[in-house]
Structure 1
Amino acid sequence: MPWTQGENLRALEVSLRPLTGAGWDAHMIAVELHSWMLTWSPARPAAYIRARLAQQSTAEHVAAELDVAEGWDAQEASRALGASRPELVLDVLEGLAAGMAAHSARQAALGLDDLTDTDAAADMAAVLARGVPV
């Protein structure tokens, strides 16, 4: 990152140790630093990186504590999504079929019906001849 160029390499290495210790490579670290979208250059880039990573770590820790305090269990919450419910799948498919039928009817009423039953080139020429804005 351009804003890190003036910093001592050893200081940068120490400040980035939480990321490199977690197995991040140079590309992943560059993406992370770029995502901070700095529009200014810190006077001490290594100190800024260290403070920013500490702030992120604290925020993640607080969020994890809140999840525990509220009794949030990600596995329990996602269990319903993995349950085998054929009737739910059938209801969804029937809803999709009804929605597609209604959409096709609206398109036909507007003269924009599906091109699959006739020659697509002829239909496009007809649309262009009418001057319909695209």
Structure 2
Amino acid sequence: MRRVLIVDDALIARKLLRTMLEKNGFDVVGEAENGAEGIQKYHEHRPDLVTMDITMPEMDGIQALKAIKAMDPRAKVIVISALGQEVFVKEAVKCGAKNFLLKPFKEDKVIETLNKIAAM
């Protein structure tokens, strides 16, 4: 079972992702509401995959992505971001994100993307 950490400041997004992932056989090992908490939970749980929002309080997703990749260069982070943030998405990919999804996301696309990245 693939272990996933969800990092997003929006509770509704975290709940929706958790429901989708668990329904499709993923094990959600933790949730974080900002980048700093995401780094801590990554260190604690060492998940197989991370879904990362970009715009969050305290520490944004780009900073958290850089810190996670510095800690574990093999980390598999998928950025999930709202429309209109393409510049940040490109920056995230440059910093090591494996893929990105735009909000609002569709279940089949989320599952397909995570399965593809997990198999890499």
- With normalisation by structure 1, the TM-score equals 0.26
Larger strand fraction of residues:
2
Specify the structure having the higher radius of gyration (Cα): 1
Higher RCO structure (Cα 8 Å, ≥6 apart)? 2
Report the TM-score when normalising by structure 2: 0.28
Which one has the bigger helix percentage? 1
